[in-house]
Amino acid sequence: MQKIYTAAQVAKLLQVKKSYVYELIASHRLKFIRLSERRIRIPESAVEEYLEKSTKKLG
């Protein structure tokens, strides 16, 4: 079973602000799971996918 992160946990992993994680979600660059109207979680696979796409753009 894969890990599921909060926006704050993803921000800490990526070393960015939590608001940037929400920006990634709003722009559909980071996949997420909506648990309720206000609660979201980000699967580990979504973080890995985002990092892979981001590093491809750089190199």
| Domain with 24 in it | 4-58
Name the pairing type of β-strands 4-5 and 40-43: antiparallel
**51 Cβ neighbours under 8 A, 6+ residues apart:** none
Rounded alpha-carbon distances, angstroms, from residue 51 to 11, 19, 39? 13, 17, 23
CA dihedral 11→12→17→18, nearest 10 degrees, is 50
Q: pLDDT by residue for the chain (59 residues), tens digit each?
A: 899 999 999 999 999 999 999 999 999 999 999 999 999 999 999 999 999 998 887 66
pLDDT at 59: 64
> What is the number of domains present in the chain?
1
**Contact (Cβ atoms closer than 8 angstroms) between residue 49 and residue 55:** no
Q: What is the pTM of this model?
A: 0.89
